[in-house]
């Protein structure tokens, strides 16, 4: 049976409705593609694979089966064949869909502001890392650790679709309507990525944090120690808190330079977080990036996780201010650079 939140959401996805579609496939996380609902939501039961201790947030109760709401969609710009004669269709989970956010009046953007950038036929989540002038901005993409320059017309303020509402709320100003055939131009310049900057940064014994592209672990960082450098693009690391299935030793694995960073520096005590603050939450032996969605009087918070579309409650002590490792510097929401 669909939950109350799902029932509230389903009303937006009737047959023929315009939608934006996210993907869990490697290389596409953090992107949204335009599409249309072909068959409206229906409930199905699908088996869940077994999980190691490094669990998905949404599978925290480790149930054997889960009822999912599925929707058949057709992409607007992605084709099924190389000739480009047939649009791609997929049956997806309801949590992978949202209504298209209304286009607002053209905005200027600030350093460290979260945006969506139009690139490769879709909208990709990123962070403004430099204001270049003449309506040009450098945007950093967390997934592939790259920076690309965009015109303001290729950007929009990043928003989350949470329980039938846009967060942050839409401005009262009337939306800017686009013509049906209007195209958004391609970005102009590719900049140096973090892989080239950090690949020689970690010596034997260095304490680091490691991320994963595995399904269910998006946005999570786990503390580890560098054992050795394998080659120019890989390190052998040992996790500090994750143990093997036999619980006899800590897990060791090779990770590439795109998925490793120094441990974030201490930025001082935060007395209180506010709604919409971006934080890391300590959960299942890792730090998971999320957004404060509710503040309680007892110094507790509800945190929204984009990857699983869930809200979980945390104590203040289990949260830290979210920081991004960009071009060899730590960047926090206050637009302050911290030395590495």
CB neighbours of 219 closer than 8 A, spacing ≥ 6?
288, 289, 290, 305, 306, 307
Q: What is the mean pLDDT of residues 310-324?
A: 92
For 104-142, what is each residue's pLDDT tens digit?
776 789 888 889 999 989 999 998 988 998 889 999 987
- Looking up tokens 């686009």, which residue turns up? 178
pLDDT at res. 5: 54
What dihedral do alpha carbons 144, 131, 113, 285 form, nearest 10°? 40
Confidence of residue 176 (pLDDT cuts 50, 70, 90): very low
CB neighbours of 218 closer than 8 A, spacing ≥ 6?
24, 29, 307
Top mean pLDDT of 187-191, 192-196, 251-255, 324-328 is at 251-255
Q: What is the DSSP secondary structure assignment for residue 192, as one 8-state letter?
A: -
Confidence of residue 151 (pLDDT cuts 50, 70, 90): very high
Write the secondary structure of 246-301 as one string of H (helix), E (strand) and C (coil): CCCCEEEEEEEHHHEEECCCCCCCCCCCCCCCEEEEEECCEEEEEEEEEECCCCEE
pLDDT at res. 9: 64
Cα 103 to Cα 173, 179, 181, 213: the distances in Å are 10, 12, 15, 31
Are 218 and 54 spatial neighbours (Cβ–Cβ below 8 Å)? no
d(CA 317, CA 197): 32
pLDDT at res. 30: 83
The pLDDT of residue 145 is above 60:
yes
d(CA 24, CA 28): 7
- Return the higher-pLDDT residue of 11 and 291: 291
pLDDT at res. 64: 38
Q: What is the mean pLDDT of residues 264-278?
A: 86
- Looking up tokens 């619980």, which residue turns up? 247
d(CA 263, CA 221): 9
The least confident of 90-94, 146-150, 168-172, 192-196 is 192-196
pLDDT at res. 149: 95
- Looking up tokens 């209180």, which residue turns up? 272
Q: Above pLDDT 70, what percent of the chain?
A: 78
d(CA 118, CA 98): 17
Q: Compute CA 145 distance to the chain's CA centroid, rounded to the nearest angstrom.
A: 13
**Three-state DSSP class for 316?**
helix
Confidence of residue 94 (pLDDT cuts 50, 70, 90): confident
Residue 21's CB: how many other CB atoms inside 10 A? Answer: 23
The pLDDT of residue 226 is above 80:
yes
pTM over 0.85: no
- Return the higher-pLDDT residue of 334 and 329: 329
Cα 88 to Cα 34, 37, 73, 204: the distances in Å are 11, 12, 8, 47
Provide the mean pLDDT of the chain: 78
Cα 168 to Cα 110, 124, 277: the distances in Å are 16, 17, 11
d(CA 328, CA 52): 32
Residue 239's CB: how many other CB atoms inside 10 A? Answer: 19
The least confident of 15-19, 108-112, 181-185, 243-247 is 181-185
Bridge partners (DSSP) listed for residue 220:
288
Q: What is the mean pLDDT of residues 92-96?
A: 86
The pLDDT of residue 274 is above 50:
yes
Please name which of 106, 73, 114, 68 lies closest in space to residue 90, comparing C-alpha atoms: 73
For 25-36, what is each residue's pLDDT tens digit?
777 878 999 999
Q: What is the mean pLDDT of residues 34-49?
A: 71
Q: What is the mean pLDDT of residues 93-108?
A: 82
């Amino acid at each position: 049976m669909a939950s109350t939140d799902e029932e509230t959401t389903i009303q937006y996805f009737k047959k023929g409705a315009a939608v934006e579609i996210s993907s869990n496939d490697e290389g596409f996380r953090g992107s949204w593609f335009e599409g249309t609902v072909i068959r409206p939501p229906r409930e199905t039961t699908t088996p869940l694979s077994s999980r190691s201790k490094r669990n998905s947030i949404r599978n925290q109760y480790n149930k054997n089966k889960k009822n999912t709401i599925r929707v058949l969609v057709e992409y607007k710009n992605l084709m099924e064949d190389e000739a480009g004669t047939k649009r791609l269709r997929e049956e997806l989970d309801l949590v992978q869909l949202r209504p298209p956010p209304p286009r607002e009046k053209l905005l200027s953007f600030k350093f460290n502001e979260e945006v969506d950038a139009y690139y490769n036929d879709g909208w990709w989540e990123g962070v403004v890392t430099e204001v270049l002038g003449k309506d040009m901005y450098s945007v950093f993409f967390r997934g592939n650790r790259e920076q690309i320059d965009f015109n303001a017309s290729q950007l929009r303020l990043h928003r989350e679709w949470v329980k039938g509402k846009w967060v942050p709320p839409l401005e009262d100003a009337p939306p800017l309507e686009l013509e049906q055939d209007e195209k958004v131009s391609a970005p102009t310049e590719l900049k140096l990525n973090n892989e080239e900057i950090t690949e020689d940064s970690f010596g034997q014994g260095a304490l680091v944090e490691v991320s994963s592209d595995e399904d269910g672990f998006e946005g999570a960082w786990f503390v580890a120690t560098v054992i050795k450098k394998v080659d120019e693009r890989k390190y052998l690391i040992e996790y500090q808190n994750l143990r093997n299935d036999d619980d006899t030793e800590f897990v060791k694995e090779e990770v590439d330079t795109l998925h490793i960073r120094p441990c974030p520096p201490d930025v001082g005590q935060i007395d209180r977080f506010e709604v919409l603050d971006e934080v890391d939450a300590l959960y299942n032996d890792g730090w998971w990036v999320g957004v404060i969605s509710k503040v309680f009087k007892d110094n507790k918070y509800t945190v929204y996780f984009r990857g699983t579309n869930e809200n979980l409650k945390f104590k203040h002590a289990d949260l830290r201010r979210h920081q991004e490792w960009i071009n060899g510097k730590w960047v926090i929401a206050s637009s302050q650079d911290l030395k590495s």
